[in-house]
Structure 1
Amino acid sequence: MKLVEGSKAIPKTNLHRRRFLNLSAAGLGALALSGLDGFSSALSAQANEEELVIAMRRLGFLVPNPLRESGGCMEYLPLLYDRLVAPNPDGTLSTERGVAESWDMSEDGKIWTFRIRKGVTFHDGVELTAEDVKFSMEAAIGPSSRSSRAAEMQETLDTIEVPDPNTLIVRCTRPFLDLVSFYSNRSGVIMPKQYYEKVGDDAFTDHPVGSGPYRFVSVTTGSEIRLEATENHWRDGTPRFKRVTLKMIPEEATGIAMLMTGAADITTVGRDKVDDMRQAGLKIIQKTNAAIMNFRPNMQWTSPAFSDIRFRKALNLAVDKDSVMANIFEGEARPTTTWPGSVINVLGEVPVLTPYPYDPDEAKWLLKDAGFEDYKFKVPSYQRPLAPEFPMLVEAVVGYWQAVGLQPVIYNTDFTVFQADWRAGKVEGNIMGTDGVTDPSPYDILDAMKLYMHSSSGRTIIKDPKLDEILDKASSSLDQAEINGLLIAAYQRIYDQYYFIPLCEVNEIIATTQRTPDWTPGQLSEEHLFYDLTRQA
Structure 2
Amino acid sequence: MAEEISRCAARIGKEESAVKKKRLWFKGLSYVVLALLLMGAITLAGCNQRNVPARGQAQELAIALGEKEVISLDPFDPHGSSSSWYIQPMLFETLVFDTLKSTEPMLAERWEVSSDGKKWTFYLRQGVKFHDGSFLTAEAVKFSIERSLANKVSGLGARKPPVPITRVEAADERTVVVHLDKPYGPFLSEIGSVRIVSPASYQGDKFIRPVGTGPWVVASFNPQEMVFTPFEDYWRGKPKLSKVAIKCIPDPQARVMALESGEVDVIGVDMQGVEPAAAKSLAASGKYQVISLHQAYLVALYFNPRAELLKDIRVRQAINYALNRGEMVAKLLEGYGVPAKGPVGFDTSIPWTNPRIEGYPYDPEKAKALLKDAGFEGDAPLKLAYEGYRAYHKTLAELIQAQLGAVGIKVELNSYESGAFTQMLQAGQYDLALIPPYGKREEDPYPYLGMFFFSQGRYKVMGSAEFDRLFMAQLFTADQKEREKLYWALQEEIMKNCPAAFLFHPDRITVLKKDIQGWESHYGFNSLTTLWKVSRGE
TM-score range relative to shorter protein = 0.7 to 0.9
2:115 is aligned with 1:107? yes
2:219 is aligned with 1:217? yes
Q: Aligned partners of 1:62 and 1:261: how far apart in 2?
A: 27
Give the 3-state SS of the residue equivalent to 2:468 in structure 1. Answer: helix
Q: Aligned partners of 1:327 and 1:362: how far apart in 2?
A: 23
- Residue equivalent to 1:437: 439
CA shift for structure 1 position 521: 1.0
Q: Aligned partners of 1:148 and 1:404: how far apart in 2?
A: 45
- Residue equivalent to 2:104: 94
Question: Residues 103-502 of structure 1 correspond to what in structure 2 (within 5 A)?
Answer: 103-143=111-151, 145-147=153-155, 150=158, 152=160, 156-185=164-193, 188-193=194-199, 195-197=200-202, 199-202=203-206, 204=208, 207-221=209-223, 223-235=224-236, 237-268=237-268, 269-278=274-283, 279-289=285-295, 291-298=297-304, 300=305, 302-342=306-346, 345-347=349-351, 350-374=354-378, 375-383=380-388, 388-423=391-426, 425-427=427-429, 429-441=431-443, 444-502=444-502
CA shift for structure 1 position 138: 0.8
Q: TM-score, normalised by structure 2?
A: 0.81
1:376 to 1:276, Cα distance in 2 relative to 1, 3 A: closer
Give the 3-state SS of the residue equivalent to 1:371 in structure 2. Answer: coil
- Which residue identity is paired with 2:67? R
CA shift for structure 1 position 215: 1.1
Question: Residues 26-41 of structure 1 correspond to what in structure 2 (within 5 A)?
Answer: none
Q: Aligned partners of 1:341 and 1:505: how far apart in 2?
A: 8
1:442-461 Cα deviation digits (max 9, x unpaired): xx312321221122324210
The aligned length equals: 474
CA shift for structure 1 position 409: 1.5
Is 2:96–2:108's contact at 8 Å kept on the other side of the alignment? yes
- Residue equivalent to 1:85: 96
Give the 3-state SS of the residue equivalent to 2:439 in structure 1. Answer: coil
- Residue equivalent to 1:26: none
CA shift for structure 1 position 462: 0.6
CA shift for structure 1 position 428: 5.0
Q: Which runs of 5+ in 1 are unaligned?
A: 1-45
Give the 3-state SS of the residue equivalent to 2:150 in structure 1. Answer: coil
Q: Which runs of 5+ in 2 are unaligned?
A: 1-51, 269-273
- Which residue identity is paired with 2:93? D
CA shift for structure 1 position 305: 3.8
1:117-169 Cα deviation digits (max 9, x unpaired): 22111111111101001111111121565338525486622111112111111
Is 2:68–2:249's contact at 8 Å kept on the other side of the alignment? no
Is 1:339–1:500's contact at 8 Å kept on the other side of the alignment? no
Is 1:219–1:226's contact at 8 Å kept on the other side of the alignment? yes
- Which residue identity is paired with 2:281? D
1:169 to 1:519, Cα distance in 2 relative to 1, 3 A: same
Moved more, 160-169 or 276-285: 276-285
- Which residue identity is paired with 2:103? L
1:263 to 1:347, Cα distance in 2 relative to 1, 3 A: closer
Q: Which has the larger radius of gyration?
A: 2
CA shift for structure 1 position 508: 1.9
Q: Aligned partners of 2:348 and 2:388: how far apart in 1?
A: 26
Q: Aligned partners of 1:248 and 1:379: how far apart in 2?
A: 29
1:49 to 1:274, Cα distance in 2 relative to 1, 3 A: farther
Q: Aligned partners of 1:151 and 1:402: how far apart in 2?
A: 40
Moved more, 339-348 or 260-269: 339-348
- Which residue identity is paired with 1:412? S
- Residue equivalent to 2:27: none
CA shift for structure 1 position 184: 1.5
CA shift for structure 1 position 295: 0.5
Give the 3-state SS of the residue equivalent to 1:175 in structure 2. Answer: coil
Is 1:289–1:437's contact at 8 Å kept on the other side of the alignment? no
- Residue equivalent to 1:27: none
1:405 to 1:436, Cα distance in 2 relative to 1, 3 A: same
1:340 to 1:60, Cα distance in 2 relative to 1, 3 A: farther
1:400 to 1:145, Cα distance in 2 relative to 1, 3 A: closer
Q: Aligned partners of 1:134 and 1:460: how far apart in 2?
A: 33
Q: Aligned partners of 1:94 and 1:59: how far apart in 2?
A: 32
Is 1:112–1:170's contact at 8 Å kept on the other side of the alignment? yes
Q: Which has the higher contact order (CA 8 A, sep 6+)?
A: 1
CA shift for structure 1 position 226: 1.1
Q: Aligned partners of 1:119 and 1:518: how far apart in 2?
A: 26
CA RMSD of aligned residues (A): 2.7
Moved more, 268-277 or 241-250: 268-277
- Residue equivalent to 1:521: 521
Give the 3-state SS of the residue equivalent to 1:342 in structure 2. Answer: coil
Moved more, 311-320 or 67-76: 67-76
Q: Aligned partners of 1:349 and 1:379: how far apart in 2?
A: 28
- Residue equivalent to 1:64: 73
Identity %: 25
Q: TM-score, normalised by structure 1?
A: 0.82
Give the 3-state SS of the residue equivalent to 1:102 in structure 2. Answer: strand
Q: Aligned partners of 2:214 and 2:68: how far apart in 1?
A: 18
Give the 3-state SS of the residue equivalent to 2:74 in structure 1. Answer: coil
1:358 to 1:153, Cα distance in 2 relative to 1, 3 A: closer
